[in-house]
């Protein structure tokens, strides 16, 4: 069904692998379109509660955009290519289902931007993050100038973008770009452990919480509080919230059904 990615699901977890290891999982237009289709597919699948994105092989998560597609673009074509990547990454970011980036190697340019679009980032200790577009006489175009400052602060984002320097997974954790850095051998175990923990929570409350946190970056604290309060009101109206309270009182594990 897919030519450039691998998609499977297991125990309520969707797994998307960018599958172009021969060119370090570079993102072409076809990859972006298939990635979008995979996200649409898992969103329609009630069995999938959380999804993980990673790269095939041990060298790269995603090394960036496919340079072969970018080098001869007209200005208008370049803008459209940026819009396509932005659309796909925003779709991941705004999905009601949580996403985890399991960064197994190079996450450069578009790869760093893809990881930042995910809700949680877990990296191999020796993974490499960076926005090296400046070295090619260009700038990040798939959200790097917008998401990176929100994650690590303006000063550090400017440093990374203006120098094009790379940092390790451990350094990424230290500046707030990643949640965890682990040995490569246990990376996927850690990602699935996190995914399974989230999958056991109520899918509706997870979706509402994700949206509230996401929009907290775009609105005033006062407006965010109003959204938060109404989200709590929505949760109170669900069967999942009733189940969660009853399970707590009865000292048992809740069984959430997304209702």
In a domain, 80, yes or no: yes
133 included as an active-site residue: yes
Say if residue 63 is in the same domain as residue 90: yes
pLDDT tens across 39-87, in order? 999 999 999 999 999 999 989 999 999 988 888 889 999 999 999 999 9
Q: 192 and 125, same structural domain?
A: yes
Q: Using an 8 Å Cβ cutoff, are 136 and 222 in contact?
A: no
**178 and 216 share a domain?**
no
Residues 139 and 244 in one domain: no
**Any domain includes 63:** yes
CB 49 within 8 A of CB 199: yes
**How many structural domains is the chain composed of?**
2
Give pLDDT tens digits for 17-32. Answer: 999 999 999 999 999 9
Same structural domain for residues 184 and 213? Answer: no
Q: Is the pTM of this model over 0.85?
A: yes
Q: Is 185 a catalytic residue?
A: no
Catalytically annotated residue among 113, 159, 243, 257: 113
| Residue 218: CATH number of its domain | 1.10.12
Write the pLDDT tens digit of every residue in 178-208. Answer: 999 999 999 999 999 999 999 999 889 999 9
**Are the C-beta atoms of residues 131 and 164 closer than 8 Å to each other?**
yes
Is the pLDDT confidence value at 133 over 90? yes
CA distances from 193 to 59, 95, 100, 122, 186 (A): 22, 20, 11, 11, 10
* Sequence-separated (6 or more) residues with CB below 8 Å from residue 137: none
CATH number, domain of 90, equals 3.90.226.10
Residue 108 is assigned to a structural domain of this protein:
yes
In this structure, are residues 256 and 243 in contact, taking their beta carbons and an 8 Å threshold?
A: yes
Per the domain annotation, does 124 fall within a domain?
yes
Q: Is 8 helix (H, G, I), strand (E, B) or coil?
A: strand
Catalytic choice (30, 43, 69, 133):
133
């Amino acid at each position: 069904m897919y030519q450039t990615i691998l998609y499977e699901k297991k125990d309520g977890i969707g797994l998307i692998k960018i599958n172009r290891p021969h060119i370090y999982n570079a993102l072409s237009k076809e990859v972006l379109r298939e990635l979008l289709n995979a996200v649409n597919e898992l969103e329609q699948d009630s069995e999938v509660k959380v999804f993980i994105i990673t790269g095939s092989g041990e060298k790269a998560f995603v090394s960036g955009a496919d340079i072969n597609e970018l080098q001869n673009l007209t200005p208008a074509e370049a803008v459209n290519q940026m819009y396509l990547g932005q659309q796909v990454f925003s779709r991941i970011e705004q999905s009601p289902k949580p996403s985890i980036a399991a960064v197994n190697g190079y996450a450069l340019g578009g790869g760093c931007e893809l990881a930042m679009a995910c809700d949680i980032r877990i990296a191999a200790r020796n993974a490499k993050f960076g926005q090296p577009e400046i070295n090619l006489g260009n700038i990040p175009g798939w959200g790097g100038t917008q998401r990176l400052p929100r994650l690590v602060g303006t000063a550090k984002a400017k440093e990374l973008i203006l120098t094009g320097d790379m940092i390790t997974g451990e350094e990424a954790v230290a500046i707030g770009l990643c949640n965890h850095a682990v040995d490569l051998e246990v990376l996927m175990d850690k990602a699935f452990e996190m995914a399974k923990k989230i999958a056991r929570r109520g899918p509706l409350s997870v979706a509402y919480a994700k949206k509230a946190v996401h929009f907290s970056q775009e609105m005033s604290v006062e407006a965010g509080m109003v959204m938060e309060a109404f989200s709590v009101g929505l949760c109170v109206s669900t069967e999942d919230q009733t189940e969660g309270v009853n399970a707590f009182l009865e000292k048992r594990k809740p069984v959430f059904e997304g209702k």
